[in-house]
Every structure is written in C-alpha cells, then in structure tokens.
Amino acid sequence: MAIRIFVLSMALPLLPGCLSPIAMHQAVLSYDQTVTQVSSEQLLLNIVRARYHRPVHFTTVSSVAATFDFRMTAGITPPEGDSRGLVAPLFSTTVAENPTVTIIPMDGAEFEQRLLTPLEEQRFLALLELGGDLGMALRMMGAAMRVETDKGVMVVKNDPGVPAEYEDYRRKSLHLSVLHRNHRLFIEPVMVEQVWEGIMEKGPSPADVLQALDKGYRWRKTGADRYTLNRSRVLLCNYDVARHPDWRSEVFKDLMDWPPNEILVDIRPDYPGGEVPFQGRISLRSFNSVLQFLARGMSDRREYAVDQDPRTGLVQVNPPHTLEIVETSALPPNAVFSIKYNDRFYSVEETPSAAGEGANWNLKAFSMLYQLFQMTQKPVIAPVPGIAIAK
C-alpha cells in the first residue's frame, strides 16, 4: 500500500502538465472555428440587410486572450469498517478558463476605408495570386468596362438591370476567363512611371519594400547604392509585354488620369484570343458595392444565364449567379452558412449536382468574398491582454 501511495504521489503533479496542452489545443481550435463562423455569418447577414435596404454594419473580433488555471488536490481517506487499516487515495483536478474577447465595431474612418473606398487593382491581383478564379473575380468585383471604340469610349455595366450591357460584360469577362484557364492571358504589374531616383547607401528596408508593393510601387537597383522607385499598373493582355516595349506608351496613355481601381485590358488580334479583340479598362467596385450587387441579385436585379461569344470557344463553367443565396421558411439540409432574418432563413448551400470546374462554385464564391473582406482589413490598435497559464 505504501508503494501505491508513493507512485500516486509522484504521478499526480504531472497531471496538470498533461492537461494544459490538451486544453490549449482545444481552446485555440475552438476559438478559431468560432471567429471564422461568426465572420462568415456576419457577411451573409449584411448581404441580407442590404437586400432589405437596411444599413450594413460589421463588428470585428480583434483579439481573443484566454487565461487557464489548472489546480490539483490530493489526499487519502482514513480506514473505515473492515478495510483492515488500509487507506484509499483521493485526488481531483480542475481547469478554469477565463477568456477575454476584444470586440470592436467598425465605424468612422475605418468604415469608409474598408467598405466605401473602391477596391484597388493591387487587391485584385493579390486575390488572383491566392488562386482565385478570374471569371468569378470579374463578376464579383467588376462594376463596368470602359471599352475603346472608333466612336469613343463605350461604358458596359455589370448590371442585370441593363440587359444589353450586362450580357456584353459577361461575354467579355468569359473570354478573359477562358484565356486565363488556357494559360493564354498575361496578368502582371507593368512599370509605367518612375517617381523617384537617388542614392541609398543601405538600400530600402523590408518595411519600405512591403509598403511600396502594397501601393503598386516597386524598388529597383540601377547601380552602386542607386535605386529607383517605379509605379506599376495591372495589365491583362494576350501577348508578352516584354517583347513589345514600344506598345507601353500607346497602351498606358493618360495614366495619371486613371483612378487606382481601374485595370487595363488589351486583347489584340493575331494573338491567342484575338478573335474577340478589345481594349479598355475594368472599374472595380467598393466592398459595399459588392455586397449591394449580391443583395440586389436576390430581388430586383437577379442575374441570369448568358451564353458565351461563339468566337470564345468552350467555356467549362458559367453559372447564372455569381453567388446564389437561398431564402426558405425552414433551415435547408445542405446549408453550409445560414442566418435567420425576419423569421426567414438565408443560406449558402453546396452544389452537389455540379461537376468538374463548376463543383462547389457557390462555396468558392463565398470564400472569395470572405478573402476580399479580409484584404480590406486595417490593423486595429487596442489594448490586448497576454495569454497566461498558471499551474
């Protein structure tokens, strides 16, 4: 009996050490899953709010800090009855968790910058670098195309309320999407303007490089301790720009008049996809306008199927809706994300019947919307308590 008590007395102090990593593991995963679910449902809720002409509003969870308290008690029970003087060990462990969640409403300048300011072309490029579908991004983020014609600039809106322009926009965006899927489309930032040149003994710092990339500028070393800062614009084209440097002045004319939310498109004849040549600019929406576009797609501006231009060729995926949100009186069984508003359920469902590239288009579109919202996020400066674990 003495040996048993000795073994238990040696093992009991190790229990909190075993429990603490398990509790930490479960807590971190649970908080991560909860915050992601809340953010996703908040996105869906704001689309529904916009559908009923209610103001959109976001509340961000800027930090989650948890304090864990692990306690252990041990002892022995005195002999009773016929136990012949034998004692029984008695021990217990408790785990207490005190989470501190910092919740900050989005308002003021942050609301303006993240929701009302048009999305810049660098955000569009970053979204594609994350593996986003070009056709999906053009349908979600694109407000209109300004196409150069012999008679001047023709504006083509991405708005189902204007059928002729909407169908033209869809066909042109489908053409670009097919070129992209067939690796025939060049998407790259092109240096178009030198804004600074000088001597820097230590060169630009990592912070300077990252800040420049975020704003569409790039550093370039031109000599010993000599650097230039160049401005770049995103170009979608069907040819290698490096082989045609003389075209830059022609394509990037009136550069200083371009707002940062416009992307240049230059599809020329005699190159892949040149059967549908056009040159112009794509204007990007603000994030609030993206929500309004998806919301109106549930009511008075419903999207519909549009066939591709016959010259485009085979289109593998072309769903009628950019993001389909289902409205029902009861929670549908295939709902992945859902919210309840005015006694009605609004859900984003899986699309099990679709196959190939079109499989789960709905979930991919909602994931792109989530990524786009995160890209607009600004650092939140708030007092955040640290994580402490007491044993």
Taking Cα atoms as reference points, which of 327, 328, 321 lies closest to residue 365? 321
The pLDDT, as a whole number, for residue 196 is: 76
The answer as to whether 205 is a domain residue is yes
Task: Please check whether residues 93 and 149 belong to one and the same domain.
Answer: no
Instruction: Clarify whether residues 75 and 215 are in a common domain.
Output: no
* Residue 20 placed within a domain: yes
Residue 339 lies in a domain: no
Same domain, 98 and 138: no
Same domain for 183 and 270, yes or no, is: yes
Give the tokens for residue 263: 């992307």
Look at residues 261, 277, 293 and tell me which one is the last residue of a structural domain: 293
- If asked whether residues 173 and 97 sit together in one domain, one would say no
Q: What is the pLDDT of residue 76?
A: 62
- Identify whether 125 is part of a domain: yes
- 190 and 244 within one domain: yes
Q: What is the pLDDT of residue 381?
A: 43
CA atoms of 119 and 109, how far apart (whole Å): 16
Instruction: Identify the CA nearest to 260 among candidates 169, 125, 154, 170.
Output: 125
Same domain, 203 and 246: yes
Domain end position, chosen among 259, 293, 327: 293
pLDDT at 248: 66
HSE-up (13 A, CA, CB side) for residue 146: 12
Number of C-beta neighbours around residue 244 at 10 A: 13
Whether 65 and 145 share a structural domain: no
Residues 133 and 213 occupy one common structural domain: yes
Task: Tell me the pLDDT of the chain (391 aa) as tens digits.
Answer: 554 544 445 444 544 555 556 666 676 777 778 878 888 999 999 999 999 999 998 887 777 776 766 566 666 666 665 555 565 666 566 666 677 777 788 788 888 888 888 998 888 888 888 888 899 999 999 999 999 888 888 999 999 999 999 999 999 999 999 999 899 999 877 776 667 777 877 777 777 777 776 666 777 777 777 888 877 788 899 998 878 777 666 666 666 567 889 999 999 998 999 999 999 899 999 999 999 999 999 988 999 999 999 999 888 888 999 999 999 999 888 888 999 999 999 999 876 555 566 678 889 999 999 999 988 865 444 443 333 433 3
Residue 249 lies in a domain: yes
Find the length of the chain.
391
- In a domain, residue 366? The reply is no
The whole-number pLDDT of residue 386 equals: 38
Q: Please check whether residues 160 and 287 belong to one and the same domain.
A: yes
Domain coverage including residue 64 = 2-107+381-390
Same domain (yes/no): 99, 215: no
Count of domains observed in the chain: 2
From 258, 293, 328, the end of a domain falls on 293
What b/e sequence results for 136-152 when a residue is b if at least 16 CB atoms lie within 10 Å of its CB, and e otherwise?
A: bbbbbbbbbbebeeeee
* 126, 231: one domain: yes
Question: Does the residue 88 lie in any domain?
Answer: yes
Whether residue 89 lies inside any domain: the answer is yes
